[in-house]
Amino acid sequence: MADTALSVFRNEKKYILPFRNALSIREKLDEILARDGHSETWGYMVRSLYFDSVNNIDCKTKLAGVEKRKKIRLRIYSGASEKCKLEMKAKDGDLQHKVSLWISREDAQELTKLNYGVLTKYFDESQDAILIYTTMVMGGYRPVVMVEYDRIAYTYPAYDTRITIDMNVRSSESNLDLFSEKPLYTILMKEEAVLEVKYNQKLVRFISDILRQYHLLQCSVSKYCMGRKVFCDFEF
């Protein structure tokens, strides 16, 4: 099935900014860019259940500042979702390669129980399914944290540009039920937001000009590692 799997190479830049600046940038972007089809007035919910290996290699490589690293997650946009996006995102500096695979709600639930075999049914549709399956089996990947936030997204056709503003970032290391109706969360960012810019080849001039107006400094923020506060406090 052509729409089941997707493999994308992109450039990605991330910024942390005060909430008031995020609202100001949102107003500017609303004037010149189109929101994606899911962004209403206050955006939409994004919920991700992250997996890591038995020795937490993905979290550790990120915290150690290793340039080449990866993460694996299940992602939904509503607790009532019947399909779920399974993603493996590999990064090398600003370059990212993301492979994604749409799987059923039932298969996602089985995957959280470490029943990796449910992925074999997708092998004929996507080589990426084989890659994700092999990585999870070899590393003994299991669910470790759930992260949720409210997102506003913009798109621009030149260089396939996409800008997202993520607010009210929250997480749970105890409730790992991806489809829970009312998860109990810890608020990670009360007065800040995360701005991400993704594009191919180069960033268009007027967007980089807007970013410069706010004197934003690029950073390597990871909502995944932010969410693993209990693990990080214990480990470090």
Mean pLDDT value across residues 6-19: 86
Nearest 10 degrees: Cα torsion 148, 23, 193, 9: 80
pLDDT higher than 60, residue 1:
no
Residue 5 has pLDDT above 70, yes or no: no
pLDDT tens per residue, range 65-83: 898 999 999 999 988 899 9
- Which long-range CB contacts under 8 A does 99-106 form with residues at least 24 apart? 99/5, 99/6, 99/7, 99/8, 99/128, 99/131, 99/132, 100/5, 100/6, 100/7, 100/8, 100/128, 101/4, 101/5, 101/6, 101/126, 101/128, 101/129, 101/132, 102/3, 102/4, 102/5, 105/81, 105/179
CB atoms within 10 A of CB 20: 10
For position 156, which CATH number holds?
3.20.100.30
Which pLDDT does position 217 carry in this prediction?
85
Q: What is the pLDDT of residue 230?
A: 66
Beta bridge partners of 33: none
Q: List, for residues 193-233, the tens digit of each pLDDT value.
A: 999 999 998 999 999 999 899 998 888 889 999 999 766 66
Reported as a single tens digit per residue, the pLDDT across 45-71 is 999 999 999 999 999 999 998 989 999
- Report yes or no on whether pTM surpasses 0.75: yes
Domain range for residue 149?
Answer: 5-235
Q: What is the pLDDT of residues 91-121, one digit of tens each?
A: 888 788 899 999 999 999 999 999 999 999 9
Taking residues 16-26, what's their average pLDDT?
Answer: 94
Compute the mean pLDDT over every residue in the chain, rounded to the nearest whole number.
90
Domain count, the chain: 1
Q: Could you read off the pLDDT of 125-169 as tens digits, one per residue?
A: 888 999 999 999 999 999 999 999 999 999 999 999 999 999 999
Confidence of residue 42 (pLDDT cuts 50, 70, 90): confident
Residue with tokens 């929101």: 35
